[in-house]
């Protein structure tokens, strides 16, 4: 009994700090908080309950029986964020570099199983040197046990990964299979093979930061959805993110109290420039339709020709996908199609209605795009929208050209309400390109080909550079004025809130991955 009391005393003193004072100091000096400190910031005050604080590793090889730390390098349990239940694990780098042993993995799996049984989000704070080298295949098996659960949980409960230190080798595949990843600038990195292996195999010289730092993954690979300045910023961003999500796939999105007022927004009337060639910032439109300060952008630095993120509309969470005319004229390309598709699928998994803002001149031409499979990747976005059964509302602000018109949540692929501003142009292509093709002969034979082209351009624009042909056919439900957009959207989403739609019975579809 006395022995057990002693164990409990040690647990209280050492849980999550098994590495001892010196290691914690080193950890702090490197700009990192400990596992417990992180959980205290992530969770509501006094809400954390630890599970498995007395777990120790079982290995006796390599003198490991002499180094036993309670908790075994990971702190697991449950707590609350804004009074909603979440499950958590936080790897403790001060114990064997946060490396994953058989028992460390068992602890993570235990909270994953509880999260699934009770239908609550799982948040993992990753800070680990990877597989516990002394444990060999037992550690690899532990990773696979986690990967398997990540997949089973996908689409059932939201899963969020913070990368707050090293995350290398096969270990990266757990965050990769969760819904959102947030990386801390300067202290975190992710890669499958590190700089030394890269140098040996490809002779490239690259630093940890260049190869897999937060900035790299936010801008080049898109592996991370968000970056954070430091640990505190990262944990606050996760708290905010969770606020837009339901607890699981059977719940509707959280709603905060909102009283509908006069919802006109005059500033929207002046966003679209006079010239169709001039860019504007689609975020101005988002600001004008969403509740004040409610927009949280996801993937802000990657493929910024498309914008994705969460917002609230009259207090209700929605997902927004919008072309961004400020970047590459808002064209769809490989990266933006993948980014958009992934976000649409997340929203559809978790009953988050979708608002799609369209100003798209088409798909990006070029060998780079074709050889990098714009066909397959563009199809991802088309597929994701087509199979989404959540309420789907579209607003065409300006261009909706070619195949991109179809892809961007058109009526034809199942959108519920399609609005257009009077400035919308819905056509196979822009008036100039179209006239050059269909009136080629007439233009070439004209005494003044330039004047003829202009005349034909005007003729084409008159017919198609407006939303009315589409509205006559019902492809657009209503042409609305910019200032009344927010009001119309609130009404449309409210009308759609009890939408029920089922896909044909199947095991699962075969999205072009
Ligand atoms: C056991 C480990 C460890 C590991 C670190 N440590 N990684 N112990 N298994 N994987 C221990 C160190 O021995 C050290 O213990 C303490 O943690 C801190 O590590 P340092 O090296 O002093 O820290 P730092 O200088 O910050 O370097 C961090 C690091 C480095 C870059 C992560 O530790 C490292 O390269 N570790 C090995 C990474 C690795 O190759 N892992 C396996 C990847 S393969 P002491 O007692 O000296 O303080 C993999 C496969 C997953 O993960 C498969 C899934 C399918």
Which residue from 29, 59, 63, 97 has its CB within 8 A of the most atoms of ligand 1, so it is best to mutate? 97
Query: What is the reported pLDDT for 182?
Result: 98
Instruction: Spot the catalytic one: 30, 31, 170, 509.
Output: 170
Residues 318 and 451 in one domain: no
Which pTM was predicted? Answer: 0.94
Query: What is the reported pLDDT for 65?
Result: 85
Whether the CB of 129 sits within 6 Å of ligand 1:
yes
Residues 193 and 285 in one domain: no
Q: How confident is the model at residue 276 (pLDDT cuts 50, 70, 90)?
A: confident
Whether the CB of 132 sits within 6 Å of ligand 1:
yes
Which three-class secondary structure string do you get for 68-107? CCCCCCEEEEEEEECCEEEEEEEECCCCHHHCECHHHHHH
- pLDDT tens, position by position, 430-445: 888 889 999 999 999 9
Q: Mean per-residue pLDDT for 51-60?
A: 92
**Of 19-28, 307-316, 378-387, 413-422, the least confident:** 19-28
More confident residue, 407 or 14: 407
Q: Mean per-residue pLDDT for 446-475?
A: 92
| Catalytic residue check, 19 | no
3: pLDDT strictly greater than 80: no
Residues 324 and 186 in one domain: no
Q: Mean per-residue pLDDT for 149-162?
A: 98
Q: Which residues contact 151 (CB under 8 A, 6 or more apart)?
A: 177
Residues 438 and 378 in one domain: no
Whether the CB of 96 sits within 6 Å of ligand 1:
yes
Whether the CB of 20 sits within 6 Å of ligand 1:
no
- Which tokens hold the place of 199? 């140098």
Residues 151 and 182 in one domain: yes
67: pLDDT strictly greater than 90: no
Round to whole Å and give the CA distance between 427 and 463: 9
Task: With respect to residue 297, please indicate whether it lies within any of the assigned structural domains.
Answer: yes
* Listed residues 242, 257, 279: the one ending a domain: 242
Query: What is the reported pLDDT for 5?
Result: 62
The DSSP H or E segment spanning 405 is helix 402-407
Report how many domains make up the chain: 3
Residues 444 and 418 in one domain: no
- pLDDT tens, position by position, 68-87: 889 999 999 999 999 999 99
Instruction: Spot the catalytic one: 18, 169, 322, 330.
Output: 169
Which residue from 24, 101, 129 has its CB within 8 A of the most atoms of ligand 1, so it is best to mutate? 129
Whether the CB of 99 sits within 6 Å of ligand 1:
yes
Query: What is the reported pLDDT for 234?
Result: 98
Residues 12 and 51 in one domain: yes
| Catalytic residue check, 404 | yes
Whether the CB of 501 sits within 6 Å of ligand 1:
no
Q: From the CA of 412, how far away is ligand 1's center (Å)?
A: 53
Query: What is the reported pLDDT for 13?
Result: 56
- pLDDT tens, position by position, 453-462: 999 999 988 8
Which three-class secondary structure string do you get for 426-479? EECCCHHHHHHHHCHHHHHHCCCHHHHHHHHHHHHHHHHCCCHHHHHCCCCCEE
Say if residues 171 and 142 touch (Cβ distance below 8 Å): no
Residues 205 and 237 in one domain: yes
Residues 337 and 223 in one domain: no
Q: From the CA of 166, how far away is ligand 1's center (Å)?
A: 9
How high is the mean pLDDT of the chain?
A: 94
Q: Mean per-residue pLDDT for 25-38?
A: 92
Task: With respect to residue 505, please indicate whether it lies within any of the assigned structural domains.
Answer: no
- pLDDT tens, position by position, 208-232: 999 999 999 999 999 999 999 999 9
Whether the CB of 73 sits within 6 Å of ligand 1:
no
Q: Mean per-residue pLDDT for 54-58?
A: 92
Number of the ligand 1 atom closest to the C-alpha atom of 208:
31
Task: With respect to residue 94, please indicate whether it lies within any of the assigned structural domains.
Answer: yes
Q: From the CA of 263, how far away is ligand 1's center (Å)?
A: 56
More confident residue, 2 or 492: 492
16: pLDDT strictly greater than 50: no
Nearest CA to ligand 1 atom 45: 96
Q: From the CA of 446, how far away is ligand 1's center (Å)?
A: 75
- pLDDT tens, position by position, 104-145: 999 999 999 999 999 999 999 999 999 999 999 999 999 999
Whether the CB of 169 sits within 6 Å of ligand 1:
yes
Whether the CB of 318 sits within 6 Å of ligand 1:
no
Whether the CB of 280 sits within 6 Å of ligand 1:
no
- Which tokens hold the place of 170? 């096969």
Residues 192 and 285 in one domain: no
Instruction: Report the Cα 377 to chain-centroid distance in Å.
Output: 17
More confident residue, 6 or 494: 494
25: pLDDT strictly greater than 90: no
Q: From the CA of 132, how far away is ligand 1's center (Å)?
A: 8
CATH number of the domain residue 15 falls in: 3.90.226.10
Any bridge partners for residue 76, and if so which? 51, 89
Which residue range(s) make up the domain with 455?
Answer: 431-464
Percent of residues in the chain assigned helix, strand, coil, to nearest 5: 45, 20, 35
Nearest CA to ligand 1 atom 21: 97
Task: With respect to residue 255, please indicate whether it lies within any of the assigned structural domains.
Answer: no
Task: With respect to residue 511, please indicate whether it lies within any of the assigned structural domains.
Answer: no
Task: With respect to residue 251, please indicate whether it lies within any of the assigned structural domains.
Answer: no
Round to whole Å and give the CA distance between 172 and 388: 28
Residues 422 and 451 in one domain: no
Any bridge partners for residue 419, and if so which? 395, 478
Task: With respect to residue 204, please indicate whether it lies within any of the assigned structural domains.
Answer: yes
Say if residues 134 and 59 touch (Cβ distance below 8 Å): yes
Whether the CB of 166 sits within 6 Å of ligand 1:
yes
- pLDDT tens, position by position, 379-437: 999 999 999 999 999 999 999 999 999 999 999 999 999 999 999 999 988 888 889 99
* Listed residues 242, 258, 278: the one ending a domain: 242
CA angle 476, 356, 481 (to 5 degrees): 50
Residues 371 and 481 in one domain: yes
Query: What is the reported pLDDT for 4?
Result: 60
Nearest CA to ligand 1 atom 16: 97
Q: From the CA of 76, how far away is ligand 1's center (Å)?
A: 21
| Catalytic residue check, 169 | yes
Task: With respect to residue 410, please indicate whether it lies within any of the assigned structural domains.
Answer: yes
Instruction: Spot the catalytic one: 155, 243, 403, 414.
Output: 403
Q: How confident is the model at residue 10 (pLDDT cuts 50, 70, 90)?
A: low
- pLDDT tens, position by position, 326-379: 999 999 999 999 999 999 999 999 999 999 999 999 999 999 999 999 999 999
- pLDDT tens, position by position, 242-263: 999 999 999 999 899 999 999 9
């Amino acid at each position: 009994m006395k022995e057990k009391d002693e164990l409990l005393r040690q647990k209280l003193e050492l849980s999550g700090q098994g590495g001892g004072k010196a290691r914690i100091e080193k950890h702090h000096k490197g700009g990192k908080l400990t596992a417990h400190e992180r959980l205290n910031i992530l969770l509501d005050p006094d809400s954390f309950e630890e599970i498995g604080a007395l777990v120790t590793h079982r290995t006796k090889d390599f003198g490991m029986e002499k180094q036993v730390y309670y908790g075994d390098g990971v702190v697991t349990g449950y707590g609350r964020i804004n009074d909603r239940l979440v499950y958590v694990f936080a790897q403790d780098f001060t114990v064997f570099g946060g490396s994953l042993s058989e028992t460390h993995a068992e602890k993570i799996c235990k909270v994953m199983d509880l999260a699934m049984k009770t239908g609550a989000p799982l948040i993992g704070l990753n800070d680990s040197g990877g597989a516990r080298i002394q444990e060999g295949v037992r550690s690899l098996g532990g990773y696979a046990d986690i990967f398997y659960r990540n997949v089973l949980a996908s689409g059932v409960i939201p899963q969020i990964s913070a990368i707050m230190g090293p995350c290398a080798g096969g270990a990266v595949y757990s965050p990769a299979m969760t819904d959102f990843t947030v990386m801390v600038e300067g202290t975190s990195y992710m890669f499958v093979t590190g700089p030394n292996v890269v140098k040996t195999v490809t002779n490239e010289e690259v630093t940890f930061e260049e190869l897999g730092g937060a900035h790299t993954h936010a801008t080049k690979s898109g592996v991370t959805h968000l970056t954070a300045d430091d640990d505190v910023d990262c944990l606050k961003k996760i708290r905010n993110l969770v606020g837009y999500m339901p607890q699981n796939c059977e719940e509707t999105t959280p709603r905060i109290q909102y009283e509908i007022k006069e919802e006109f927004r005059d500033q929207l009337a002046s966003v679209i420039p006079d010239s169709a060639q001039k860019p504007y910032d689609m975020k101005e439109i988002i600001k004008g339709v969403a509740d004040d300060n409610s927009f949280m952008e996801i993937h802000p630095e990657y493929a910024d020709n498309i914008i994705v993120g969460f917002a609230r509309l009259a207090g209700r969470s929605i997902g927004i996908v919008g072309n961004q005319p400020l970047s590459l004229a808002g064209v769809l390309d490989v990266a933006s199609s993948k980014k958009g598709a992934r976000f649409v699928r997340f929203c559809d998994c978790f009953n988050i209605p979708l608002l799609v803002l369209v100003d798209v001149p088409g798909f990006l031409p070029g060998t780079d795009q074709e050889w990098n499979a714009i066909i397959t990747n563009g199809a991802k976005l088309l597929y994701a929208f087509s199979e989404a059964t959540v309420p789907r509302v579209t607003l065409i602000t300006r261009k909706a050209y070619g195949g991109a018109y179809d892809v961007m949540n058109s009526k034809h692929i199942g959108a519920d309400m399609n609005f257009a501003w009077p400035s919308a142009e819905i056509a196979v292509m822009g008036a100039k390109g179209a006239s050059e093709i269909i009136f080629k002969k007439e233009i070439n034979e004209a005494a003044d080909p330039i004047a003829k082209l202009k005349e034909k351009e005007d003729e084409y624009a008159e017919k198609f550079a407006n939303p009315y042909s589409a509205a006559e056919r019902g492809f657009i439900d209503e042409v609305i004025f910019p200032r009344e957009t927010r009001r119309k959207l609130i009404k449309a989403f409210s009308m759609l809130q009890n939408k029920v739609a089922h896909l044909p019975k199947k095991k699962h579809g075969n999205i072009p991955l």
